Structure 1
Amino acid sequence: MAVNCLFLFRRDRAYQLEKWTQGEGPIDFLYGFPLLENDKIASDFAEGDDRSNDWRRRLCYPFESIISRTVGIGFSIHIAIIHWSKIVKSDVVVSTVDTCGLPLALLKWLKLIKTPVIYISQGLAHRLHSRRGSLIGRVTKYIYSRFLQSIERVLVLGEGAALPVIEE
């Protein structure tokens, strides 16, 4: 039986997948998604849509906006809420950016989802480190470190990006 792997993207990956399939676009922003389909892994993806009028997106926007502006890091919990059924039915979720990964970490920390998560972080530790002198920065680092302890795997791309994670 194949493992159901869901990739959670911030936005525009359906378009990028179409372009790559046609031989007109790169594959790097798809994080290996189209290469995993075989008899052992059944892959699917979900993404946010900034043009959507979905009521869940509108409801979450004020909360997301306050967090993003205060912390300096995106927090699109509406994407997880909109794609909730796909997330909980999956055997594993791969989050490709902090904007999607942080809400998943919160939901796992709250024990609202049990699905294992692979979180690809891109700049989170560096951004938190740059705000370490402020009260907001210290509080955010503390809270996010608790959330991230609920994640099965955190991946950091590149040695330069890994150093702040190791230091923090």
Structure 2
Amino acid sequence: MNYVIEETPICVLDFDGCLHHDEVYYRPGSGVYMREPGHHLFEWAHVLVDLLEPYPSVRIALSTSWVRSRGFQFAKTALPCPLRERVIGATYHTREVQKRDFDFMSRGEQVLNYVERRNLKRWFAIDDDVAGWPTWCLHRLVQTQGHSGLSDPSAQNAVRRILEVL
């Protein structure tokens, strides 16, 4: 899945706190589950589907702990089909970065490491974890709130603004 060319528009996407509430956990035997009453996994994924619909060339790189803990295929398959079809890779890849090194990077460092490895020119990130983001690239980050993710109109507007100029 390394066909990303530097001019392809990329959305570097986190799951927890973006596509659903951030109270998500994994239990062996039960799998991934939502611990916040009244919420469910990927409850706001349709918002991103709608936001990306006018931009068919935008691809997705996963920047979620699901890839590191459960694997790329597991994380990709968990997404609704319209988003899954856009996925071309992830910030974590065992052949490109050591687990220990990756685990000690902030989310911003993980994303920037991926951007540099792929020599990306047209990219932005959607994430509720804003640790380690250099100020020079904060304009590429759509910061969501863990409890509201992309259900928040201000986050949706931020994605729209970035897509218009991407």
Pick the TM interval, shorter chain. Answer: 0.3 to 0.5
State the structure with bigger RCO (CA 8 A, min sep 6), 1 or 2.
Answer: 2
**TM-score relative to the length of structure 1:** 0.34
Q: Which has the larger radius of gyration?
A: 1
Greater per-residue helix proportion: 1
**TM-score relative to the length of structure 2:** 0.34
